[in-house]
Chains A and B, each alone.
Chain A
């Protein structure tokens, strides 16, 4: 069956450290993968998109990797700040432009 799994529901780290979030998938062959941020009571906000032929993409303190052999994406936030605390969702392009979302990982960055 098809699955998208994100690592542990919650991740707690100290300010200044690097947060690493994992997105694993099975029985999908996505053309691209996206990461979104969602704050409580708000809609998701797009952060980064990485295509199947890209290994890595960066945007400011964010870095995403995409390994289609391992069927895994890693999302890194370097020099994390309390303002980075939120739920992060990965989403796969699964069928004709539709996106299927993982359950999300809630990141808490402690000062």
Chain B
């Protein structure tokens, strides 16, 4: 199983600022996913980050708001730009292990952002 570390685990941010969340995996993986979990709700996929290519964003999410980097097979970042209180949420990084090919996802512990 993959072990995923996310930083920061939580932060309180001011409106209009940007914050970058880091995701480090202990093994090489092809696909990394970024999810958002708003209070009391389930997970919503923001984008899929593939190494060496642009991230693929889901409907309702755009690159200008959520730029993603994927410099190698073990690391990715998600930036939440120009934050508003509506961006207060838990952001989760997840991976699907290439060898498993079963769709099983491993998740980081999440980054809880509060925007004032």
Which A residues fall within an 8 A CB radius of B? 31-32, 34, 36, 41-46, 49, 89, 91, 93, 97-104
Cross-chain contact A45 with B107 (CB below 8 angstroms):
yes
* Interface size, B (range): 20 to 34
- Of the candidates B33, B92, B103, B112, the one whose C-beta lies within 8 Å of that of A93 is B103
Name the residue among B4, B31, B92, B104 with the largest chain A CB count within 10 angstroms: B104
Cross-chain contact B103 with A99 (CB below 8 angstroms):
yes
Known: A42-B110, A43-B107, A45-B107. A32 touches B102 (CB 8 A): yes
Instruction: Pick the 8 closest A-B CB pairs, nearest first.
Output: A43-B107, A101-B43, A103-B42, A101-B42, A46-B104, A44-B107, A43-B109, A43-B110
Cross-chain contact B92 with A43 (CB below 8 angstroms):
yes
Cross-chain contact B103 with A34 (CB below 8 angstroms):
yes
Known: A32-B103, A97-B103. A42 touches B109 (CB 8 A): yes
Please indicate the chain B residues that have their CB under 8 angstroms from the CB of A34 in the complex: 103-105
Instruction: Report Cα–Cα, A49/B109, bound state, in Å.
Output: 21
Which B residues fall within an 8 A CB radius of A? 4, 31, 33, 41-45, 48, 92, 94, 96, 102-110, 112
Cross-chain contact A89 with B104 (CB below 8 angstroms):
no
Please indicate the chain B residues that have their CB under 8 angstroms from the CB of A42 in the complex: 109-110
Cross-chain contact A104 with B103 (CB below 8 angstroms):
no
Known: A97-B31, A97-B96. A46 touches B105 (CB 8 A): yes
Please indicate the chain B residues that have their CB under 8 angstroms from the CB of A93 in the complex: 103
Cross-chain contact B105 with A49 (CB below 8 angstroms):
no
Cross-chain contact A49 with B43 (CB below 8 angstroms):
no
Cross-chain contact A46 with B45 (CB below 8 angstroms):
no
Please indicate the chain A residues that have their CB under 8 angstroms from the CB of B108 in the complex: 43
Instruction: Report Cα–Cα, A52/B13, bound state, in Å.
Output: 44
Please, which residue of chain A has its CB at the minimum distance from the CB of B108? A43
Cross-chain contact A98 with B107 (CB below 8 angstroms):
no
Instruction: Report Cα–Cα, A94/B106, bound state, in Å.
Output: 17
